[in-house]
Structure formats: C-alpha cells, structure tokens
Structure 1
Amino acid sequence: MTQSRNDFDELAYNPTFKWSFLAPKYWGTWIALFFACLFAFLPHRLKLSLSKFIAKQAVKLKSGAAHRARVNLSLCFPEKSESEREQIMYNLYVTASMFMLTFPLLSLRSKEWLENNTEIRGFDNLKNVLDHDENVILLVPHTWSIDIPAVLLASRGLPVSAMAKGQKNKVADWLMHRQRVQYGGRVYDRSVGIKPFIKSVRKDKYLGYYLPDEDLGRQHSVFVDFFATQKATISGLGRLSKLSQAKIVPLFAMINTATGKFELDFYPALPFPTGDEHQDARVMNECIEHYVSEKPEQYMWILRLLKTRPDSTKIY
C-alpha cells in the first residue's frame, strides 16, 4: 500500500521561513506558540478542566464566531430549543479548546504517539479501495480535528493532496503548513486551479482531500437542502471523481474530550458520479448531516457555512 514518493511539485504551496517572521508584529504569535506547547503537555484531566473553563467564558462573549455559530445552529436546528442550542455551543467550545490544547503535540511528539492516540474505525473502507489499485478522494467535513487524518495517513505512507487558502498571519501559515506535510503530502493554493490536484490523485496516486462544506459563492455552487435550511454547496464532485478516476470515501475526524484521543471514522465509498450535480451535492450534505447529527459539537459551526443565501440576504 505504500511507495516511495517525491512530494516536490513546483505548483504546490510551500511557504518557507523568512527573517521577517521575527519582526515585532509577530511576537504575539511566537509567545502564544510557546504557551501552547507548554499547555499541550498538561495531563488530560487538567486540559479538560481548562477547556470547560474556556468554554464557559466563550459562550458569554459577544464575538463574531459565537454569533455565526448561533445563526448557523438556529437555521439548521429550528426544532431545538434555545437552551438545547446553547448546550451545543458550550460543548462546541469544550471540543475546540481541547483540540487546540492538544494540537501542538502533532509536531512535538512522534508518529508513534499519534498512532497510539488515535482510534480508527472502518479503515477497511479505504484499504479495500486502495487494494484494488483505485484512486481515492476523501470527503472530509470541517470538524475541529480536520487536519489529523492527513497527518496520520501520511505517517503511514499514504500522503494526501489538498487545496487550501493561506492564512493571513504568515507565521501561523508557515507553521501550519509544516505540520500538515511533516510526513509528506502536497497542498495547492486555489489560485493554481484544480488541474494539479487532479493530476496528483490520478497520476501520482495521492489521496485527495476534499472539503465538501466550503461556501465558494453562487458561481461555484448549487443550492440544496442542508439540515432544515438550504446551503450553497460545491458542485462538480461527480465531475472531479470522473476526471480523477477516483472513488469518494467519506471520513469524519473527531477528538474525544473524555479521553483526549482522536477518532477517525471511514465510511463506504459513495455512488459517484451520479450524473446530476444537484444530486451529488445533496449526497455530500447528507453525509455531513449523518455525522454531525450524532456529534454536533465536533463541527465548526463558527464558520460562514451559510454565507451565500438563495435570496442574497446577509444573515451574519
């Protein structure tokens, strides 16, 4: 299942360290990184207590992130009471805080540590496709632990190819990229187009990493049901599957706040392409609904998930 790869691609995104990263405007980032690394080594019980404390404060703040999460939850779960949605908010912040307190260990500890602290279910759903020498695009919703599968799979000799948008903070962008590709893999900026991503999956045999819940605007989306509302959903996954000659394998990543360990669920390959982009989009959303309904606190509700509306209203 593994093979030697040369991860270099001149079109891939590859930020490098610059001396300007030591300028005063980035000192806050370096200080935050220092404390993040210290907190990462706290015992799990202390990290959980700290996460709960942070969550209690976060739900009280009138921040943009909290506002977006409440808007998203109210539109997606109108049948739930306000207290039920607030409980999801609290659990969401506990989950996010626990992940942030643990995340630095991906770079500070070994691949053996990552393996021992990750529970994997349904891996045969991926292995069986690979054993038939078929290409794979992983369908990975935006959970807090979204980066974990890419790092873990690469550590097993199965690096992924992904498309991403660079961070505004150049130090954070450089550090995150180094962590993501520390065991191999490629990341492409959206500005280079989709062709390098397709080539990496079809010809170079990387696992594609596809984020189905991004809102890329009206031009690149179709409106289909998403929980109790409608969402501008990326169109063209069926076409991408065909061009890449790849099976679409859903993957859901979580962090268990009770244990502090990561959990990955691989599901059977989806029936792509269906031949209908609206149907493809709805199948993707159904996947997200299935995962998130069981573990809503794992999902990044703070994102502008519903930014583009059918009636062009500005809900945020």
Structure 2
Amino acid sequence: MSSVRDDFDAKAYNPTFEWGFLAPKYWGTWLAVLIGALLSLLPNAVQLFIARQLAKVAVKLNNKANRRARVNLAMCFSSKSDTEREQILYQAYVTSISFTIGFASLTLRSKQWLENNTTIRGFEHLTNVTDSGENVILLVPHTWAIDIPAVLLASRGLPVSAMAKAQKNQVSDWLMHKQRVQYGGRVYDRSGGIKPFIKSVRSDGYLGYYLPDEDLGREHSVFVDFFDTTKATISGLGRLSKLSKSKIVPLFAMYNSQTGQYELDFYPALPFPTGDEHQDARMMNQCIEDYVSQRPEQYMWILRLLKTRPDTDVNPYGK
C-alpha cells in the first residue's frame, strides 16, 4: 500500500480529544493511564511477579467475571476436574494481568520494538492471499492480545478495518482508539451497520477483522457445537465472505507472559462460503477449539460466551 494512504472515512468511528476529558471525573482515568505507562517500562520478570501475585487474589474474588469464567469452563471442559479448570482460570489471569501491565508499550515504544517483541508463525498464509490480489477477512477469536495483530499489520502497511462498540468512559475510548489506529486502519461503530466495513475490505483493500465468538442472541445466531456444549454462534460469515469477495484467514493472537512477547499464529484460509450457515458456524467454532485447546490461558473466559441457550431463556450465569 502507498505510504500516503488516507485512512479517514467519515463513516468510521473517529473520536477526538475534548477539553472536557480534563474534568475531575476523569482524573482517576488519567492516573490509571500514568501508572500503566510506568508499569509497562518494568522488566518482564518484575511484571510477571506482579501478575502472579494479583492473579492469586483475582481468582478468589466473588464477582461476576469469575462466575462467568467458571460457568464457561465447566460447560466447555466438562471432563476436566475442578482443580484443572481452576488452574486454567489462574493462568488466564496471569496472562491477562501481564498483558495489561505492558499494554501501554504499544504506544510508548516504536514500530521496531513491536517487531522485535512479536513472534509470527504462518505469515505466508496471509501473504499468499494478499499477493494474489485477493481480499482477506481475518478470523480472530477473543484472546487477551486481540488488539496486537491489527497494530502490527498496520505498521507493516497492511491496515485493518474492524467493528467495535464505543466504551462508556470517553477518555479510555479515545485513548484506545488512538492506540488501535496509530499506524493506520479504520474502526466502525456497530450501530452504523456492516456496509461500510464491507466496502473498506472489498473496495479499499483493508484487511477485515472478524470476531467469531461473540454471542449476539438468537436472532443473529445458529446453534452448533462448541467444545462440550452448544453455542449461539454468529451466522453469516459465508455471506460476508461472498459480499466482500474475501478469503477467510484464521489468526490466533497470544501474549507469552514468560517471555513478555506477543505471538501471532496465522492459519491456511478456510473454504468459505460453504453455502450452509450451520457448517460455516461449526467451522468457526472448530477453529477456536483447535487454538484454545492448545493455549486455554489465552482465551477471554470471562465473556458471556454461552449466554443464549438453545432450549431455555434462563441465563446460565445467574444474577
């Protein structure tokens, strides 16, 4: 892509700084940003030590996040013991806290630092498609390091187009957006519909960023197997692939808390569209299962992954 590429799109989400961000109600947010910036400069061994201590506390909290995680783990890994599932939860917290401690580095450090601190495997599965002039939608499950590929690819001249929901905290929302598109790319608000996203991939050559594991309710889902249970899985990726004339390339993003490095695994393009929504949905879930089974600590088990059940309206996470 050209170095003078214009990433601006009036239909994209483009939050800007407001003087109101300096109001007292946001001082706590700015303090957290300052502390986060300082922590990100600590050696990885120190960050890991802090993460392990905080993770021991986190797993003992009686909160909604832990309840969701334990329900998800019990339903997905019914054959594992409570001890095994608790170990996954603990390691997931170590991973998430370690990643969060170093998150500001994406902004404070350089492109070269990002390159030097990222291990990439299977990148040819992406370049084989892009070099042939075909469009790509990346299939990216919800791992803690989910933002890393978009930033790194944009730094290499391969900007990403994604859809997201604005955060309630306007300062956090603005800072997060600036970090995500610091080297280029576009983010569209979900409320604006999917057409601008499709255009950016099909006509403007952006890499699409598709999150396959969200539970959007019965209306937008089909029920297919997911680990040891059944999940309301987003339908329509086959249609999206057809409309955007794109290949679907799976990508699994990880943060290695032991090394302090990011790891990105690209996989061969999937045979989309198959013409069968259930088959497409099962293929997506199978991808997630294959990746997560190898590195379960990377996955965001705290999400409402299984909120919509096929045979009841009862929320499995309770009140």
Q: What TM-score range do you get, normalising by the shorter chain?
A: over 0.9
Q: Which amino acid aligns with 1:59?
A: V
Report the number of matched residues: 316
- Residue 67 of structure 1 deviates from its aligned partner by 0.9
- Residue 86 of structure 1 deviates from its aligned partner by 0.3
Q: Residues 173-209 of structure 1: CA distance to partner in whole angstroms, max 9, x if unpaired?
A: 0000000000000000011111100000000000000
Does 2:239 correspond to 1:239? Answer: yes
1:230 counterpart residue number: 230
- 3-state SS, counterpart of residue 173 of structure 1: helix
Q: Residues 70-128 of structure 1: CA distance to partner in whole angstroms, max 9, x if unpaired?
A: 01000000100000000001000000011001110000000110000000000000000
2:155 counterpart residue number: 155
1:45 counterpart residue number: 45
- 3-state SS, counterpart of residue 251 of structure 1: strand
2:184 counterpart residue number: 184
Does 2:196 correspond to 1:196? Answer: yes
Does 2:32 correspond to 1:56? Answer: no
- Residue 3 of structure 1 deviates from its aligned partner by 5.9
**C-alpha separation in 2, matches of 1:305 and 1:34:** 32
Q: Which amino acid aligns with 1:206?
A: Y
**C-alpha separation in 1, matches of 2:140 and 2:146:** 7
**C-alpha separation in 1, matches of 2:2 and 2:255:** 27
- Residue 4 of structure 1 deviates from its aligned partner by 4.0
Does 2:112 correspond to 1:112? Answer: yes
**C-alpha separation in 2, matches of 1:241 and 1:48:** 40
- 3-state SS, counterpart of residue 187 of structure 1: strand
**C-alpha separation in 2, matches of 1:119 and 1:106:** 15
1:123 counterpart residue number: 123
2:259 counterpart residue number: 259
**C-alpha separation in 1, matches of 2:232 and 2:313:** 11
CA contact (8 A) 1:144 1:298 kept: yes
- Residue 2 of structure 1 deviates from its aligned partner by 5.7
**C-alpha separation in 2, matches of 1:14 and 1:215:** 26
2:273 counterpart residue number: 273
2:309 counterpart residue number: 309
The root-mean-square deviation of aligned C-alpha atoms, in Å, is 0.8
2:88 counterpart residue number: 88
- Residue 5 of structure 1 deviates from its aligned partner by 1.9
1:63-74 to 2 correspondence within 5 Å?
A: 63-74=63-74
Gaps of 5+ in 1: none
Q: TM-score, normalised by structure 2?
A: 0.98
CA contact (8 A) 1:40 1:101 kept: yes
Does 2:220 correspond to 1:220? Answer: yes
**C-alpha separation in 1, matches of 2:128 and 2:89:** 38
Identity of aligned residues (%): 72
**C-alpha separation in 2, matches of 1:174 and 1:228:** 39
CA contact (8 A) 1:40 1:105 kept: yes
- Residue 272 of structure 1 deviates from its aligned partner by 0.2
Q: Residues 242-300 of structure 1: CA distance to partner in whole angstroms, max 9, x if unpaired?
A: 00000000000001111000000000000000000010000000000000000000000
**C-alpha separation in 2, matches of 1:16 and 1:120:** 33
**C-alpha separation in 2, matches of 1:3 and 1:309:** 47
**C-alpha separation in 1, matches of 2:236 and 2:193:** 14
2:138 counterpart residue number: 138
2:36 counterpart residue number: 36
Q: Which amino acid aligns with 2:169?
A: N
- 3-state SS, counterpart of residue 145 of structure 2: coil
**C-alpha separation in 1, matches of 2:4 and 2:196:** 19
**C-alpha separation in 2, matches of 1:3 and 1:23:** 37
- 3-state SS, counterpart of residue 29 of structure 1: helix
CA contact (8 A) 1:2 1:158 kept: no
**C-alpha separation in 1, matches of 2:2 and 2:303:** 35
Q: TM-score, normalised by structure 1?
A: 0.99
1:2-21 to 2 correspondence within 5 Å?
A: 4-21=4-21
- Residue 34 of structure 1 deviates from its aligned partner by 0.6
Gaps of 5+ in 2: none
Q: Residues 112-166 of structure 1: CA distance to partner in whole angstroms, max 9, x if unpaired?
A: 1000000000000000001100000000000000000000000000000000001
- Residue 25 of structure 1 deviates from its aligned partner by 1.4
**C-alpha separation in 2, matches of 1:4 and 1:242:** 29
